[in-house]
Structure 1
């Protein structure tokens, strides 16, 4: 009886000695699943407040070189709460000019090198770059790939912009991130020295 228990414990320990390191390596290098709490990313995540929270697949591998693209949704360390991970959309990259939302202290901002500008899709309920400013790319831990739960919500997460945002491209491949009512910002090409050549 005792020898059987000892043999079982040894077998369990051998199994754990293999599976735990493999699980850690897979989670650290490739990705993991996470529940999305809150309403800051509605309607992309947690579209219906009465439903269970969405569960997403996050890829560490895709973010390993911090080669993020405009419109991608990322998981990042909160600049305000370093022990907390938040999920936001990358709206602008280094060199881009952002027309900020009213709560930010400047009307426009140019994203500095090695940083990005992130926003929640539900701006009224989001604490994002309009609160804490540009975010170092080094804080990004993963890129969101899929909504995997609940089953009726399963879908690939594609890069896009919040509904009230648009890009205006420059000749130097940089962007102005403006609101859809771009006519309100026509003076930016003069005041900020921007050369607008295409309006998308």
Structure 2
């Protein structure tokens, strides 16, 4: 007979009533912020944990010395609009759709890219609605990028990494415009 005891907890004269009122008010306050947080995470921006060797040496400078991950801020506002060569983007991997990958945009639609192995052809023209992405690490084994699966659809892009938040030595905005790539690209006429 637990119900009479439960009813006494919620009765008017119960000593638990102020606690339950405060608790329910706090719970309601937290619950109303959940949709706001989800909206911000889906459409405005989020923290991205960057691990692995694919973006070395620009990101994860100590990937071979420790297990720590770099943390970046990813802007999701107009994620695949106004892309430029050198920007670092996050996207759903075409090879493993459950994995969020981080790579650098090397070529835009219409550009001719001189590819590396294992890509089957020596050059590739990036089709409309696609971009060519590569990791900064030149080791073929360290990065699965467009040389592995070809140009990616812009619809797979979820955001642009705009700032590095951790480690403190790399803290600041991502200066993508300073990037000098090693992959030869012939830009399309604009």
Q: TM-score, normalised by structure 2?
A: 0.83
Over residues 99-143 of structure 1, what are the superposed CA-to-partner deviations in whole Å (9 max), with x where a residue is unaligned? 001221000010011001000000311100000011000000000
Q: Which runs of 5+ in 2 are unaligned?
A: 1-14
Q: Is the Cα contact below 8 Å between 1:121 and 1:162 reproduced in 2?
A: no
Alignment RMSD (CA, Å)? 1.7
Shift of 1:163: 4.4
Shift of 1:158: 1.8
Q: Which runs of 5+ in 1 are unaligned?
A: 174-200
2:47 is the alignment partner of 1:28:
no
Shift of 1:17: 2.6
* Higher share of residues assigned strand: 1
2:120 is the alignment partner of 1:105:
yes
Give 1:177's aligned residue. Answer: none
Q: Is the Cα contact below 8 Å between 1:80 and 1:132 reproduced in 2?
A: yes
How do 1:57-68 and structure 2 match up within 5 A? 57-63=73-79, 66-68=81-83
| Pair member with larger Rg | 2
d(CA) in 2 for partners of 1:29, 1:102:
36
Q: Is the Cα contact below 8 Å between 2:112 and 2:186 reproduced in 1?
A: no
Shift of 1:4: 2.3
Shift of 1:9: 2.5
How do 1:170-185 and structure 2 match up within 5 A? 172-173=189-190
Shift of 1:168: 4.4
d(CA) in 2 for partners of 1:167, 1:119:
12
d(CA) in 1 for partners of 2:37, 2:45:
10
Give 2:19's aligned residue. Answer: 5
2:109 is the alignment partner of 1:94:
yes
